[in-house]
Amino acid sequence: METLYFDTLQFVYHLALAVLVGGAVVLGLAAAPAIFAAVSSRGEAGTIFSAVLGRYDGLAILSVILIVVTSILKATAFEVTGAPETRLIIRWLALLVLSGATLYSSAWASPVARTIRAQTPGWDDLRDDAPMKREFQSLHRASRSAMTVAILAGIVAMFLS
């Protein structure tokens, strides 16, 4: 029974990591470029990708919760029997960075940016220096940077798992 419990924790942990890292890579390197290249209007492409990103954000937040819960359960039941190994501490730090960056991007920056875009009339006709567009672009850049940090931290966590 102990092996099934550990195997289940490991499976959920790795699945959540795969969703976060793989999902972010696919969104950034495949989905976004393909959507913006295939759709003739940049505004329409933004609307489509925004809907995709909105769905991913929910999965990302759920994945962070699963990683935190499984990491705590694994640590208390299997991993820590004395002083934690350096590898384990580095993995926990990577998971902390991954979680923070994901929550920043998926629970705050991206939803706020999507709300600004959705609630601004005539979005596509706004000049690039319009205050709402500047705020959106700032949040978009910050969210994209946070996703990059999350991917890198997730790769470190995967390697050390």
Mean pLDDT (the chain) is 94
Helices (H) and strands (E) in the chain, counts: 6, 0
**Whether residue 49 has pLDDT greater than 90:** yes
CA–CA separation, 106 and 61 (whole Å)? 7
Question: How large is the average pLDDT for residues 15-43?
Answer: 95
Q: What band does 126 get if pLDDT is binned at 50, 70 and 90?
A: confident
Asked which of 10-19, 35-44, 64-73 is least confident by mean pLDDT, the reply is 35-44
| The pLDDT value given to residue 159 | 97
**Residue of 77 and 17 predicted with greater confidence:** 17
Domain that holds residue 72: 2-159
Q: What is the pTM of this model?
A: 0.91
pLDDT surpasses 70 at 1: no
Please state the domain count of the chain: 1
pLDDT at residue 129 is higher than 70: yes
pLDDT of residue 48 exceeding 90: yes
Buried/exposed code over 100-120 (b: 16+ C-beta within 10 A; e: otherwise):
ebbbbbbeebbbebbebbeeb
User: By percentage, how much of the chain surpasses pLDDT 70?
Assistant: 99
Angstrom distance (rounded) from CA 69 to CA 75: 10
